Amino acid sequence: MEFSAEQIAGIILGEIEGNPEVKVNGLAKIEEGSEGKLSFLSNPKYEEHIYKTGSSICIVNNSFVPSKALPDTLTLIKVEDAYSCFAQLLEFYDQMRRKEPAIEQPSYIAQTATVGEELYLGAFGYIGENAKIGNNVKIYPHVYIGDNVTIGDNTILYSGVKIYHDTEIGKDCILHAGVVVGSDGFGFAPDESGNYKKIPQIGNVIIEDDVEIGANCTIDRATMGSTIIRKGVKLDNLVQIAHNVEVGESTVMAAQVGVAGSAKIGKYVMIGGQAGIAGHLSIADKTKIVAQSGIPSTVKKEETLMGSPGIPMDDFKKSYFGFRKLPYILKKLQELENNMKSLIKE
């Protein structure tokens, strides 16, 4: 689909400098622009790229004044905030790509299930008994939705998502490809002979509104009760949430974070990639955990933690400075020991 500079300026309330009829059919970074592409310039650090970009249209701040000649083929659209306006267009572009309501075949909807208006159900999709699907839900091909699952309005489930029975998912959520919600928690108990016997996992998972879950994340059902992902949580790809965990409102986790069973993560917590959270602990609101850190015990107040076990970041940096000097210290210690031996011999 093509849009003219005039149409784009109308959407973002911008002022055109150049050809209002020039058209674009895609988006590109300014340094990678080509004919028919729309770019933006917000950070002055990248200004040099605008003088050689191949893009047809570029969104710039009202304050932008060229310091040299712009390409003849480039049309500018000036706005108050180029970054936010480009983000607005990205959202508009994303909406344009979303599926129109349809039920593709082959697919299956149980007779006892209820589905809302404007449903898109892709081929090989499955909706189980007594499931309740809200309005304007998008379910891409090869998605499995188990019995008694509830999904709120405007939620998107991308291809390959698996939702086990009794799961509750709120409104305006996005689950990317390969997400598994509600699989059994890791619950086993050794018997008298030392073999492990499975403990039935009879709880569920509750995901509140406006949650986004990255590709191939796994969220385990509770042993009893619920594993809970609160409103506004954002999980990157390959995050593991164990049974009976509670993740507080607007907390974010980068890729490959692992949270062990029954941990309670506070609100507005930020967790870097590959961090590990031990089970049965609590983490205070607004805590920040640096990538690859390990948290073995409860965090009682807001702070930034680093290392394994995680300690306050400033303390970690001081400790690491000492650790890096250990080879030098050991060398000096060996020299001192040799000198003492020589003195004793004399």
Q: Where are the beta strands (DSSP E) in 210-261?
A: 212-213, 218-220, 226-229, 234-235, 240-241, 246-247, 252-253, 258-259
Token pair, residue 346, equals: 């004399």
Strands 26-27 and 258-259: unpaired
3-state SS assignment for residue 83? helix
**Rg of the chain on CA atoms, in Å:** 27
CB 142 within 8 A of CB 125: yes
142 part of the active site: no
153 vs 138: CA distance, rounded Å:
9
174-175 β-sheet, strand order: 102-103, 120-121, 138-139, 156-157, 174-175, 212-213, 234-235, 252-253, 270-271, 288-289, 304-306, 311-312
Q: Which residue among the candidates 49, 142, 243, 280 is catalytic per the annotation?
A: 243
Q: Which residues are catalytic?
A: 243
